[in-house]
Structure 1
Amino acid sequence: MSTQKTIRREAGTVEENALRLDTEKAEQVVDALNVDLAASYVLYHQLRKHHWNVEGAEFNDLHGFLGEKAEEAEDAADALAERAQALGGVPVSGPATLEERAPVEFEGEDVYDIRTSLENDREMYGDVIESVREHVGLAEDLGDYATSELLRDVLEGLEDAAHEIDHYLEDDTLVLESATQ
């Protein structure tokens, strides 16, 4: 086993790429992809937290929903990372770097009631949507149509999830509030 450590690609750098996107343009796109990658992982962890902690009459439905949305966030993160790598960049991956680069903040370790948790998720989805939407335009303006298309697909999934959360937060429900609340 070799004890020598050789850095093959330094974090934060962008090399020439086989996709023939100019390196200066690729740097801008990779930076945007890394922001959305970081946001996707922060979203993933918050959704997973809510998946683990959901309780109450709607447990089964919400547990499944939150687990599915967490998996979708993780899949989006993977696609974003692979695109950044294909463009000659190094995808962000460490927890501290993810937290630093994300345009969203994890709600913390405390456990909230499910309505508050879903409201926090909806807010985070909205912030991630705004970031991805901005980056669709950036990629398009730089002539990186494949990244633009990838980001559009990610955006569509984020918007669908935010809309579904809106439905969960409606006041039309069969579950009655406790008289003690």
Structure 2
Amino acid sequence: MSTEKQVRHRAGTVEENSLKIDRGKAEQIVEALNTDLAATYVLYHQLRKHHWNVEGAEFEQLHDWFGDAAEDAEDNADDLAERVQALGGVPVSGLRSLADHAPVESESDDVYDVRTSMANDLQLYQDVIESVREHVALAEDLGDYATSELLRDVLEDLEDDAHEAHHFLEDDTLVLEDATH
């Protein structure tokens, strides 16, 4: 732990910002962004878990997809955290704080078959998408058009990955269930 004695900016507070966004509005937006940041980290960790544990005939394609999707989530989390800071807030970062702020939960630590894992990911994507959509509207209503645009970009990434996850779950495949035929 750091030996630093002076806290420069307390978590959960919002200071004046250089963006000329009213502190009261910034507080609402920072809260929303921290919620989405926490949810994005839940998604990130679940995708990483699946990246590490995937097996089977489609291993290489799914391993790559889970890895790429986790990187998308990590990039989005970074963008969200930087916007929180720009608005005068403190991005949530500790594991306990992330869990407290996240409106979603990941699956258990158990390893599931790939179809169950992907279905769990799709559900998690859908839950995060709902949260981000609400916050696009909030930022827009509060006149923070840059945050609204950022959240739209995050939403587009989430929807693209959710759409791909949905395609993996379709029942049409070249892989045979019973290889003895």
The percent of aligned pairs where both chains have the same amino acid is 73
Q: Secondary structure at the match of 2:35?
A: helix
> Structure 2 stretches of 5 or more lacking a match?
none
Task: Name whichever of 147-156 and 4-13 sits farther off.
Answer: 4-13
The residue that corresponds to 2:41 in the other structure is 41
**Match runs of 1:12-161 below 5 Å:** 12-161=12-161
The amino acid that maps onto 1:125 is Y
Figure out how many residues of one structure are paired with residues of the other and give that number. 179
Q: Secondary structure at the match of 2:42?
A: helix
Distance 2:147 2:22 in 1: 14
Distance 1:4 1:78 in 2: 25
Aligned-residue offset at 1:178: 3.4
TM-score under structure 2 normalisation?
Answer: 0.96
Q: Secondary structure at the match of 2:129?
A: helix
Aligned-residue offset at 1:102: 0.6
The residue that corresponds to 2:8 in the other structure is 8
Q: Secondary structure at the match of 2:93?
A: coil
Distance 1:169 1:26 in 2: 40
The Cα RMSD (Å) is 1.4
Aligned-residue offset at 1:5: 1.1
Distance 1:65 1:99 in 2: 25
Distance 1:6 1:62 in 2: 46
After TM superposition, the runs of 4+ consecutive aligned structure 1 residues lying more than 4 A away are none
Distance 1:51 1:136 in 2: 30
**Do the aligned partners of residues 3 and 53 (structure 1) sit closer, same or farther apart at CA in structure 2, a change above 3 Å counting?**
closer
Q: Secondary structure at the match of 1:80?
A: helix
Distance 1:103 1:58 in 2: 32
Aligned-residue offset at 1:161: 0.4
TM-score under structure 1 normalisation?
Answer: 0.96
Distance 1:97 1:134 in 2: 21
> Structure 1 stretches of 5 or more lacking a match?
none
The amino acid that maps onto 1:172 is D
